[in-house]
A and B are shown apart, each in its own frame.
Chain A
Amino acid sequence: MSYAWDFNFLWALGPLLLGGLINTGKLWAIAFSSGLAIGLAFGIMRTVPSRILRGIGMVYVEAIRNTPGLILLIWFYYALPILVGVQSSAWLAACVALSLYTGAYSAEIYRAGIASVEAGQWEAARAIGLSYAHQMRYIVLPQAVMRMIPAFGNRAIELAKATTLASTLAFGELLFTAKVIAEDQFRPLETFTAVSVIFTAVLLPLSYACIWLERRVARSGGIVRD
């Protein structure tokens, strides 16, 4: 049996799909930027001398990383009104959950990056009288960040994939929009194929860029002079 493919209806519904894609983009941008910020805080926390702070950082990272993203999303959807007393929405729950999700994974990237800076750098910075915060801010982080970039790129890709989880809360991102269209038009094959192609078309070049960056950083030994 051959199936008569017909993508024409999708062109007509293009604006709808585009709207979904924009929502995906928004969710991605917010979760990624706040995830990087949260990750920085917890990543540094995991490297400080204080045992208590390290413990808190570890609990956060382990708790988030060992829980499936979907469960986090649903949990925050129901728990937000109780925890902070705000009216919950799929958008808010997705933003909070995905930010914390990305935060935990990027905390590990920061930690590994910071750990990769050799002890001599810390010692030299201390020898010239810099405080711990200044050692971190001016000596260690700038050197570490370059090595982290490829890993952050991979995180960005994983987060883009994770935004589709928000469709389970009926947030109108790309996949949810596609599901609505597929049901409305009785054409799941074309619709889901299109969504799949869109994701790969965006993420594949990004993935290659990450691989390229990784090689570059590896070649330069993580040291970049300008």
Chain B
Amino acid sequence: MPYDWNFTIVLRYLPQLLEGGLHTIILSAAAIALAAPIGVVMGVIRQQRVPILAPIAVAYIDFFRTSVALVLICWCYFALPVLIGVTLSTFTAVTIAIGLQASAYLAELVRAGLQSISVGQWEAARALGMGTRLRLQYIILPQAARRMIPVFFLLVIEVFKTSTLAGFVTYPEIVYEAYRVATDIYRPIETFTIVGAICFVFLFSLGRIALYLERRYAVVER
């Protein structure tokens, strides 16, 4: 029995799907905004082996690195409110879950970036009489950031993919909207084909940008 494909009817619902896509983007942006400061601080603490704090950073990074995004989302949405006695919106819960996990990945990225700066740079800065903070701020981090940019972009792509899980706890992102459209018009395959295509175009473009940045910022020691 050949299947009678019908994409035109789905296209009529395109605005609704794109609105879901917009929610996905907003959610990802919020998660990254939460992840960025935590990730940088944790990464620096770990790489600098700050006493007392470093083991905490390691435990934090290891826990979130090996946690499952969907489990974290469920935990933040279903369990966290019980623990703190405050009802969280789906948006807040998912932002916390994805943001914390991304911060762990980012911390590892920051650590690797700092590690990649040659010892000579550290020593030269110290020879000028700079303290740890100054050395990090003016000498090491600016160089490390340059190398981290392409990988950071890949992390952003991962965050976008993870954001599609938010529909599981009824946040109206793109997959959630797709389900609603699919049940409205009984066309799940066409709907999800189009949603898949939207995601592909978006993520593929981001990937190309990452590749471009990688070439552009490719490390050349001068």
A residues neighboring B (CB under 8 Å): 1, 3, 62-63, 65-72, 74-75, 78-79, 82, 157, 160-161, 164-165, 167-168, 175, 178-179, 182, 188-189, 191-193, 195-196, 199-200, 203-204, 207
Q: Do most interface residues of chain A lie in helix, strand or loop, or is the interface mixed?
A: helix
Q: How far is the CB of A199 from chain B (nearest CB, A)?
A: 5
Q: How far is the CB of B88 from chain A (nearest CB, A)?
A: 13
Q: How far is the CB of A83 from chain B (nearest CB, A)?
A: 9
Q: Are B71 and A164 in contact (CB under 8 A)?
A: yes
Interfacial chain B residues near A207, Cβ < 8 Å: 62, 65-66
Q: Are B71 and A195 in contact (CB under 8 A)?
A: yes
CA distance A204 to B85 in the complex (A): 30
Q: How far is the CB of B19 from chain A (nearest CB, A)?
A: 17
In the assembled complex, B67 has its CB within 8 A of some CB on chain A: yes
Which residue of chain B has its CB nearest to the CB of A186? B82
Which residue of chain B has its CB nearest to the CB of A81? B3
Q: Are A165 and B207 in contact (CB under 8 A)?
A: no
Q: Are A68 and B71 in contact (CB under 8 A)?
A: no
Q: With A189-B79, A192-B78 as given contacts, are A75 and B193 in contact (CB-CB < 8 Å)?
A: yes
Q: Are B62 and A204 in contact (CB under 8 A)?
A: yes
Partner of B78, one of A65, A182, A203: A182
Q: Are B189 and A78 in contact (CB under 8 A)?
A: yes
In the assembled complex, B69 has its CB within 8 A of some CB on chain A: yes
Q: Do most interface residues of chain B lie in helix, strand or loop, or is the interface mixed?
A: helix
Q: With A71-B196, A161-B68, A195-B71 as given contacts, are A189 and B203 in contact (CB-CB < 8 Å)?
A: no
CA distance A151 to B102 in the complex (A): 20
Which residue of chain A has its CB nearest to the CB of B205? A66
CA distance A165 to B70 in the complex (A): 7
A-B contact count (CB 8 A): 106
Q: How far is the CB of B101 from chain A (nearest CB, A)?
A: 10
Interfacial chain B residues near A189, Cβ < 8 Å: 78-79, 82-83
18 contacts between A and B (CB under 8 A): A3-B83, A65-B207, A67-B196, A67-B199, A67-B200, A67-B203, A71-B196, A78-B192, A79-B189, A161-B68, A165-B70, A165-B165, A179-B74, A189-B82, A200-B63, A204-B63, A204-B66, A207-B66
Which one of B74, B200, B207 has the highest number of Cβ atoms from chain A below 10 Å of its Cβ? B74
Q: Which 7 A-B pairs have the closest CB atoms?
A: A188-B78, A203-B66, A66-B203, A189-B79, A68-B161, A78-B188, A68-B164
Partner of A192, one of B3, B69, B74, B85: B74
CA distance A203 to B75 in the complex (A): 18
Interfacial chain A residues near B156, Cβ < 8 Å: none
CA distance A19 to B68 in the complex (A): 19
Partner of B79, one of A160, A188, A199: A188
CA distance A193 to B207 in the complex (A): 34
Which residue of chain A has its CB nearest to the CB of B163? A68
Interfacial chain A residues near B164, Cβ < 8 Å: 68, 70-71
Interfacial chain B residues near A157, Cβ < 8 Å: 66
Which residue of chain A has its CB nearest to the CB of B203? A66
CA distance A79 to B189 in the complex (A): 6
CA distance A195 to B75 in the complex (A): 9
Q: With A62-B204, A68-B164 as given contacts, are A175 and B71 in contact (CB-CB < 8 Å)?
A: yes
